[in-house]
Structure 1
Amino acid sequence: MTTTDDVPTVSAAELVAGRRAYELDRRHVFHSWSAQAGLAPMTITKAEGCYVWDGEGSRLLDFSSQMVNTNIGHQHPRVVAAIVEQAQKLCTIAPSHVNDARSEAARLISERTPGDLDKVFFTNGGAEAVEHAVRMARLHTGRRKVLSRYRSYHGGTDTAVNITGDPRRWANDYGDAGVVHFFGPFLYRSRFYADTQEQECERALAHLDEVVAMEGPGQIAAIILESVPGTAGIMVPPPGYLRGVREICDRHGIVFIADEVMSGFGRTGRWFAIEHAQGGDGESDPVVPDLITFAKGVNSGYVPLGGVAISAEIAASFDERTYPGGLTYSGHPLATAAAVATITTMAEEGIVENAARVGAEVIGPGLAELARRHPSVGEVRGIGMFWAIELVRDRATREPLAPYGGTSESMNTVVAECKRLGLLPFANYNRIHAVPPLIITDEQARAGLAILDEALEVADRSR
């Protein structure tokens, strides 16, 4: 595992290049999800392992994994070498042709998916994966409606953003996408007046069952769920929930799509988060979706890549009829070579196991201690290397430190303090997410928790 702290500082030339990059960025780059005029984006001059260096030369421990995608860490030498080797051999080729990197990546992914999801359609990222999964479900069933939970994120393209259940959908939603939203289980902010996880699970499934009945089961092509919702708050589903969703889908011939774009490839301490819904040993009685969407961790974002893992039944729908979709860069050799190197390295270096162990032994207990110490922490929740810290103004009322769909001066101050102290956090609304690379060591994890401890004092004072 390459996690050394003994790395060079940023050189004067790199700082000059960073300043030039910032000037050009503000002159020419149009940023996503942002009002452009007030932006002052951080410059990153270099990265290695669990660290990045900003435009001033300061080193920050990356507790964000950028967009929760650098699962294998920054600049892993085996992945970088694989990209270089592939570039020297075959940089690109049309997707209609076989290339060995794509074939091997498909094999490695299929070996890790549950059940019979043994065919892989490659995309350029997670949103496209969702787009194609929904298209497959609609064509397979001959139905149009798709059900998705509130407090979810599925991507920024047209279908994916309409399926999304958070405020980023609002400006893009004209009510004509064939999407119906429902409430999923979230005990801390329960919509079902539940007191226990068991009640929350039972009532959430009853709610979903009723939504299906009211919308017309014969009209519904798919139910899509993040196996563990990510950007929306890292809400680990209670035991039995995903199995209950599977049962509802089976009863009505609805396709079950598990969105593992963020939670897949080791993030939760398993190759896929839906494995946590299996039997107690993680092997028996699996919950198997019909389609799995993936991206991000499949190659840690080193080259853009996503895809859909497809069940035998749905794949057979297109044995005799053309699948009406494709991409110029589907299974791009550089991207899939990076995936082969990433998956192989993660397996050989025990990186998924490291995520499970550090999460259970260091980050989980450490965050629980922070919750005990800081009145601004309403709840911590998570699994593996996938944790959320819910910040509130009042523990009794659970009033969030920032409004749903927005931010606040208090949250901005907490994030700024994290950065000042050397931590790059992932922040969304009233939450800080602890989602470092899966290669993180115990020592690095404790260092990050110590910075969070200090930064949360700012949150305590600003309530």
Structure 2
Amino acid sequence: MLGLNERTSELDRAHVFHSWSAQGALKPLVIAGGLGCRVWDHEGHQYLDFSSQLVNVNIGHQHPSVVKAIVEQANLLATIAPSTANLARGEAALRIVNRAPDGFNKVFFTNGGADANENAIRMARLHTGRDKVLSTYRSYHGNTGAAIVATGDWRRVPNEYARGHVHFFGPYLYRSEFWATTPEQESERALQHLERVIQSEGSTSIAAVLLESVPGTAGVMLPPPGYLAGVRGLCDRYGILLILDEVMCGFGRTGRWFAFEGYDVTPDLITFAKGVNSGYVPTGGVIISDAIAAGFDTAVFPGGLTYSGHPLAMASIVAALDAMEEEGIVENAARIGRSVLAPGLAALAANHPIIGEVRGEGVFWVLELVTDPLTREPVSAAVMARIKTELLARGLLPFLMENRIHVVPPCVVTDAEVAEALAIYDEVLSLDLLA
């Protein structure tokens, strides 16, 4: 008789079709349970989760308040149409707008981040009467029609079916497209580049600029001084809306409720998803500025989703945001980033030349790995595969992307858990990885 790990793997290989993968050689890690910052398989092998799964389990695994709220809501009302008024939905929306900037009082709920961006793009086009959407090459906005075409990485290329999308280069000083040598220079030149793209595309044809406040999957690239405020200024100058994607970086990940709060900017539309309830139940949404919401007081918004504002998801949002407030979870993420991860990762970089750059804030960090710190040549896929194997063997569940280790634990991570992870990273990076 098969054990549960073997049974799980057998069923997965036989019947589950996985995303972003060639199916033949897959052997997914079996996960059976979790608590806090740890997960385990059916045989009890534990892993310290420094991936937060897809950088979303901000409140940690199996937070009792959130689980309880989902169970209570399921016993009360498991589902209801989005056309109705529901208390859980209203309370969730209230908690979200209470944390948004002044002038944001409405939330359109979606099933996740991709359709949040999809609907934000739709709102921008309807509000402005324009068509084009500008986004950066180093970005990820989701895997639905417009969202995947707004995405800048390789996943866009096989999926370019949506119209009206234009890409530009955002700031990334470590691999500057603009021959910059300082953050200020990178910001100035990136803004000049964006303005030239706006002018060249025809400013009156552009509905919105869509940016991740802090690009996540692309490499945790913190905006240099003045950049996001400068984008806001360009949008105002040319009558373009600014959509900030907070799907990954929002709700505590950067040590703030919203990442953009640290960059002197207020957008017109804010998209969010998994961080708002740690992904316990699928949800997302668009936080809509009053000026845009007012346009739909008399005009029909031509969009909707069967599970928009699903009561189980709404109950989980209420419980998650209340627990994050009461337990100081966002403040913990800020402290951990400032006092534990920042110095700990800097020490790793000082000891391991394979680390070309460390960057991040809160519990949102990346180690960019290179074969040579002078040439900055990225390490190979084979090196990254070995690093993943070695980290897992030592009980750490990582998030790896291209030549980067993303250091992204839950916002509830403790000093001791960070120390444990740093010791594992140190041990693995001490191996002869480039041989």
Q: Is the TM value for this pair above 0.5? A: yes
1:58 aligns with 2:45: yes
Distance 1:267 1:453 in 2: 24
Matched, 1:461 2:412: no
Moved over 2 A (4+): 15-19, 54-57
**Cα distance, 1:193 vs. partner?**
0.5
**Inter-CA distance 309–162: structure 2 relative to 1 (3 Å threshold):** same
> Deviation at 1:381?
0.2
Amino acid at match of 2:224: P
**Aligned match of 2:399:** 426
1:9 aligns with: none
State the TM-score, normalizing by the size of structure 2: 0.98
- Separation in 2, partners of 1:461, 1:130: 39
TM alignment of 1:392-411, pairs within 5 A:
392-402=370-380, 408-411=381-384
Q: Deviation at 1:351?
A: 0.1
1:279-320 C-alpha deviation (Å, 9 max, x unpaired): xxxxxxxx2100000001100000000000000111111111
User: Residue 197 of structure 1 aligns with which residue?
Assistant: 183
State the secondary structure of the residue aligned to 1:250. Answer: helix
Q: CA RMSD in A?
A: 1.2
CA displacement, residues 256-277 of structure 1 (integer Å, 9 cap, x when unaligned): 0000000000000000000001
Equivalent pair of 2:383/2:433 in contact (CA under 8 Å) = no
Aligned to 1:375: 353
Q: Which residue of 1 aligns with 2:30?
A: 43
Instruction: Verify the 8 A CA contact 1:42 1:55 in the aligned structure 2.
Output: no
Contact preservation (8 Å) 1:119, 1:315? yes
1:211-230 Cα offsets, whole Å, 9 max, x none, are 00000000000000000000
Match of 2:166, SS state, is strand
Query: 1: distance between equivalents of 2:417 and 2:401?
Result: 23
> 1:450 corresponds to which residue?
423
The one-letter amino acid paired with 1:270 is R
Corresponding residue SS for 1:44: coil
Aligned to 2:284: 306
Following the alignment from structure 2 to structure 1, what is the Cα–Cα distance between the partners of residues 153 and 422?
Answer: 28
Match of 1:282 in 2: none
Q: Could you tell me how far 1:116 is from its partner in structure 2?
A: 1.1
CA contact (8 A) 1:149 1:181 kept: yes
What number of residue pairs does the alignment pair up? 435
2:123 to 126, 129, 136: 136
Residues 1:330 and 1:96: Cα distance change in structure 2 (over 3 Å):
same
Residue 20, structure 1, aligned to residue 7, structure 2: yes
Structure 2 residue 136 is matched with structure 1 residue 146: no
What SS does structure 1 have at the residue aligned with 2:108?
strand
Q: Is the 8 A contact 1:19 1:55 kept in 2?
A: no
Aligned residues of 2:336 and 2:415 also touching (Cα < 8 A): yes
Deviation at 1:55, TM superposition (A): 4.9
C-alpha distance in 2, partners of 1:409/1:218? Answer: 47
Q: Name the amino acid aligned to 2:203.
A: P
Shift of 1:18: 3.1
Partner of 1:366: 344
Distance 1:461 1:126 in 2: 36
Q: CA deviation at 1:19?
A: 2.4
Cα distance in 2, alignment partners of residues 109 and 213 from structure 1 = 36
Q: For 1:55 and 1:155, locate their aligned partners in 2 and report how far apart those are by CA, in whole Å.
A: 31
- Gap runs ≥5 in structure 2: none
Match status 1:293 vs 2:271: yes
CA contact (8 A) 1:50 1:436 kept: yes
Aligned partners of 1:134 and 1:300: how far apart in 2? 24
Specify the alignment match of 2:171 in structure 1: 185
1:56 shift after superposition: 4.5
User: What CA distance in whole angstroms lies between the structure 1 residues aligned with 2:207 and 2:258?
Assistant: 23
Equivalent residues of 1:73, 1:438 under 8 A apart: yes
Matched to 1:72, the amino acid is I
d(CA) in 2 for partners of 1:461, 1:234: 24
Alignment of 1:37-436 (within 5 A): 37-173=24-160, 177-278=163-264, 287-402=265-380, 408-436=381-409
TM-score by length of 1: 0.92
Secondary structure of 1:393's aligned partner: coil
Q: Deviations over 1:397-446 (max 9, x none)?
A: 000013xxxxx111100111011011001000000000000000101111
CA distance in 2 between partners of 1:462 and 1:62 (Å): 26
- Residue 89 of structure 2 aligns to a residue whose secondary structure is helix
List alignment gaps of at least 5 residues for structure 1.
1-12, 279-286, 403-407
Q: Give the deviation of 1:83 after TM superposition.
A: 0.3
Contact 1:115/1:288 (8 A) holds in 2: no
